[in-house]
Amino acid sequence: MKGLLCVILIIFIPILFGCAAYTSLEPVGTGRASGNLSLGGPIISAFDTRIPVPYAAAGLNYGLSEQLNLNSNLHLLSLAYKIAGMDAGLSWFPTLNDGWKPTIGVSPRILAFMSLKSDVSSRFRIYPLVTASALWKSGKGDLYTGMDIIMPVTEPDYNEETVSAIVSPFAGYRWPLNNQYSLLTELKWMGANVESNQLAVEYVPINGHGAVTTLFSLERRF
Q: How far apart are CA 35 and CA 96, in angstroms?
A: 21
Element at 125 (helix H, strand E) = strand 124-138
Q: Which domains are assigned to the chain? A: 2-221 (2.40.128)
* 3-state secondary structure at position 3: helix
pLDDT-derived band at 1, boundaries 50, 70, 90: very low
pLDDT at position 182, please?
96
pLDDT of 80 over the 70 cut? no
Q: How far apart are CA 111 and CA 208, in angstroms?
A: 27
CB 61 within 8 A of CB 72: no
Q: Which residues contact 141 (CB under 8 A, 6 or more apart)?
A: 173, 174, 175, 176, 182
Mode of pairing for the β-strands spanning 124-138 and 141-150: antiparallel
pLDDT-derived band at 14, boundaries 50, 70, 90: very low
Q: How far apart are CA 204 and CA 201, in angstroms?
A: 10
pLDDT single digits (tens) 86-109: 889 999 999 999 888 999 999 999
Q: Cα 56 to the chain's mean position, in Å? A: 10
pLDDT-derived band at 147, boundaries 50, 70, 90: very high
Q: What percentage of the chain carries pLDDT values higher than 70?
A: 71
pLDDT at position 91, please?
97
- The secondary structure of residue 101, as a DSSP letter, is B
Q: How far apart are CA 35 and CA 184, in angstroms?
A: 13
Task: Work out the average pLDDT over 159-188.
Answer: 86
Q: How far apart are CA 9 and CA 125, in angstroms?
A: 12
